[in-house]
């Protein structure tokens, strides 16, 4: 089946059609589909079932579809409905399932502390790698702003490692509310899109932009790394209706 046949069979809204290609990338990676020339449609590229996904075809002897559908029920229901849903009714599948945008849900104290812990542990690990392997980028700098820095784990690590640095951690007001900094680590609340869009251009005089982010498509020989990239791409699509960056 070609991509367009798939989109049409699934009744996906045209504005959301591009999501299917992302979804198929991850299913191919898991060995559930193959992408190859289809002789029956003049050699166009299309998706075919593998021996694994043959097991998931409904109404076949030994079909594992009912079990898989049972396990996936809440997520699959949300995704299918969202794909067919009108453009503006539910901006994300997360919002469709929970009736609030993901960032708003994090205002809830319990969810917020769980998310904080998850982010902080991830940032502590990454901060260690950054300090050990890319510490040179902070040489010659004295003031750093960490945008979306939340509890400031990255800022804390770099101010501890580089004693000449001062760091301001910038995040949404409810995220940094009540956080206490130090002499060289400050917390400031605000909306990045409000603060930044009030200007016509951002000029960094003797400045640097240091980006620590996932790049989809990098290190493709590393199976685990590719899997992580594809999963994060899915996560971004489901929660925020955006995608992870690629090299372009
Ligand atoms: C993936 S988290 C980053 C976690 C952080 N690096 C840490 O170490 O815990 C992304 C952060 O961006 C913040 N964020 C999202 N939208 C924002 C906006 N419009 N303005 C400011 N911060 C924003 C979120 O509140 C969140 O803390």
Give pLDDT, residue 23. 95
Give pLDDT, residue 2. 94
Nearest residue CA, atom 24 of ligand 1?
148
Atom of ligand 1 at shortest distance to CA of 191?
Answer: 20
Interval between CA 219 and ligand 1 midpoint (Å): 26
Interval between CA 33 and ligand 1 midpoint (Å): 35
159 lines ligand 1 (CB under 6 A): no
Interval between CA 122 and ligand 1 midpoint (Å): 13
User: For 159-188, what is the mean pLDDT?
Assistant: 93
**β-pair type (245-246, 185-189):** unpaired
In the chain, % of residues over pLDDT 70: 92
Which residue has tokens 């849903």?
A: 85
154 lines ligand 1 (CB under 6 A): yes
Atom of ligand 1 at shortest distance to CA of 151?
Answer: 9
Q: How far apart are CA 170 and CA 147, in angstroms?
A: 5
175 lines ligand 1 (CB under 6 A): yes
Give pLDDT, residue 199. 59
Interval between CA 1 and ligand 1 midpoint (Å): 40
Q: How far apart are CA 145 and CA 140, in angstroms?
A: 15
Assign domain 109-212 to its CATH superfamily: Vaccinia Virus protein VP39 (3.40.50.150)
3-state secondary structure the chain: CCHHHHHHHCCCCHHHHHHHHHHHHHHHHCCCEEEEEEHHHCCEEEEEECHHHHCCCCCCCCCCHHHHHHHHHHHHHHHHHHHHCCCCCCCCHHHHHHCCCHHHHCCCHHHHHHHHHHHHHHHHHHHHHHHHHHHHHHCCCCEEEEECCCCCHHHHHHHHHCCCCEEEEEECHHHHCCCCCECCEEEEECCHHHHHHCCCCCCCCCCCCCCCCCEECCCCCCHHHHHHHHHHHHHHHHHHCCCCEECC
Give pLDDT, residue 119. 81
Q: Evaluate if residue 75 carries a pLDDT over 60.
A: no
Q: Evaluate if residue 205 carries a pLDDT over 70.
A: no
Give pLDDT, residue 16. 93
Pocket test for ligand 1, best of 150, 174, 240 (most atoms within 8 A of CB): 150
**Range(s) for CATH 3.40.50.150 in the chain?**
109-212
Tell me the whole-structure pTM to 2 decimals: 0.69
């Amino acid at each position: 089946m070609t991509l367009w046949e798939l989109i049409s069979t699934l009744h996906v809204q045209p504005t959301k059609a591009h999501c299917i290609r992302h979804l198929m990338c991850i299913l191919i990676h898991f060995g559930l589909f193959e992408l190859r020339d289809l002789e029956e449609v003049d050699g166009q590229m299309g998706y075919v079932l593998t021996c694994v996904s043959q097991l998931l075809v409904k109404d076949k002897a030994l079909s594992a579809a009912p079990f898989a559908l049972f396990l996936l029920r809440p997520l699959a229901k949300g995704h299918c409905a969202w794909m067919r849903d009108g453009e503006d009714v539910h901006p994300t599948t997360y919002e469709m399932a929970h009736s609030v945008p993901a960032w708003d849900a994090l205002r809830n104290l319990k969810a917020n502390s769980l998310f904080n812990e998850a982010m902080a542990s991830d940032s502590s690990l990454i901060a260690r790698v950054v300090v050990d392997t890319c510490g040179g980028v902070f040489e010659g700098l004295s003031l750093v702003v960490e945008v979306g820095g939340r509890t400031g784990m990255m800022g804390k690590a770099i101010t501890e490692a580089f004693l000449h640095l001062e760091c301001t951690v910038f995040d949404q007001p409810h995220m940094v509310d009540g956080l206490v900094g130090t002499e060289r680590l400050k917390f400031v609340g605000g909306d990045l899109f409000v603060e930044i869009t009030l200007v016509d251009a951002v000029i960094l005089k003797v400045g640097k932009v240091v980006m620590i982010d996932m790049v989809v498509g990098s290190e493709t020989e590393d199976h685990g790394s590719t899997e992580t990239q594809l999963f994060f791409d899915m996560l971004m699509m489901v929660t925020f209706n955006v995608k992870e960056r690629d090299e372009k």
